[in-house]
Copies of this chain bind each other. A is one copy, B any other.
Amino acid sequence: MSRLLRTALVQQKGFGDYKTVTAATCEKIRQAVQKGAKLVVLQELHTGPYFCQTEATDQFDRAEAIPGGASCQLFGDLAKELGVVLVTSLFERRAPGLYHNTAVVFEADGSIAGIYRKMHIPDDPGFYEKFYFTPGDLGFKPIETSVGKLGILICWDQWYPEAARLMALAGAEILIYPTAIGWDPADNDDEKQRQRDSWILAQRAHGISNGLPVVAVNRVGYEPSPDKHATGIDFWGSSFVSGPQGELLAEAAIDTEELLIVDIDLTRSEDVRRIWPFLRDRRIDAYQDILRRYID
């Protein structure tokens, strides 16, 4: 018997003030629940613009306490009202001068089921995340909810097979990636296509290696940089869901907002792992050097 989990991915334009953006998000969550979603996943740092395009200390004002901050209150209340499990992505103020990029998962009763602090932090021109986010210190632990064990990872984590593997080994039933990735408008079309293809492919492959479905939710639309000399970021949307053989189950548009609703069959993972028993044959006796920076 299959165990279907109706899952909603909210792909949004994030450029706007907190009130406007979160109101739009809440409206999408309501629509998703009306359509039967039991799990709703939001994009990375969904309460406003992607503020890491420059390094500016006043951006830390956006951060909030977890629990206790305004967004925790807002989304916790909504999860409770609608009876839905909600994966949010917030800017956490843990202490003065200590901030994290944190996913907060709300149970359907409004309580916090668990949090995940982004472990791998990027730093590229236009993505100055090392300035803002202290690397996570909670490790790779799935969050137990009423709809299943959720392996939440965030954006840059999606390039690391180690992260997906650790979530799978710890019993995750789905890998979930709130994301903010986009193009430098100055890049040419070939480079843009390679980047987007890679992003989709790398995550589908995590599903394959671990026999798990993958949910990736990305921002969409252009966001200018506060730096007038910078080109801004054109977030490429393309939120998607893939199955435990990496098969694409649904994919959102590249350039428009979308509410993607997908029934994920959580029983298929064990079927696939029986024909492809990768976990059986891992050479854990020979992986020690994975813990090294480089083997030189």
A284–B275 CB distance below 8 A: no
Q: At the interface, yes or no: A147 with Cβ under 8 Å from chain B? A: no
B281–A198 CB distance below 8 A: no
B194–A198 CB distance below 8 A: no
A160–B290 CB distance below 8 A: no
Cα–Cα, bound, A45→B136 (Å): 45
Cα–Cα, bound, A9→B122 (Å): 36
1/0 contact string of A188-212 vs chain B (CB within 8 Å): 0000001101100110111011000
The smallest beta-carbon distance between A143 and chain B, in angstroms, is 14
Among the listed B140, B194, B281, B287, which residue makes an inter-chain contact with A291, where contact means beta carbons less than 8 Å apart?
B287
Q: At the interface, yes or no: A292 with Cβ under 8 Å from chain B? A: yes
- Count of chain copies: 2
Across-interface contacts of A197 in B (CB, < 8 A): 245-247
1/0 contact string of A117-140 vs chain B (CB within 8 Å): 001111010000000000100011
A284–B288 CB distance below 8 A: no
A198–B161 CB distance below 8 A: no
B287–A159 CB distance below 8 A: no
Q: At the interface, yes or no: A66 with Cβ under 8 Å from chain B? A: no
**Interface hits, A71-105 → B, CB 8 Å:** none
Cα–Cα, bound, A247→B197 (Å): 8
A286–B140 CB distance below 8 A: yes
1/0 contact string of A163-188 vs chain B (CB within 8 Å): 10110011100000000000000000
- 29 A-B pairs with CB atoms under 8 Å apart are A121-B281, A139-B286, A140-B286, A140-B289, A156-B281, A159-B278, A160-B282, A160-B283, A161-B165, A162-B283, A162-B290, A165-B290, A166-B290, A169-B290, A169-B295, A170-B295, A171-B296, A194-B245, A194-B246, A194-B247, A197-B245, A198-B208, A198-B245, A198-B247, A201-B201, A205-B206, A282-B293, A284-B293, A290-B290
Known: A119-B286, A194-B247, A284-B293. 14 other contacts (CB 8 A): A119-B283, A120-B282, A120-B283, A159-B208, A159-B278, A161-B209, A165-B290, A171-B295, A198-B247, A201-B201, A201-B204, A205-B206, A205-B208, A287-B291
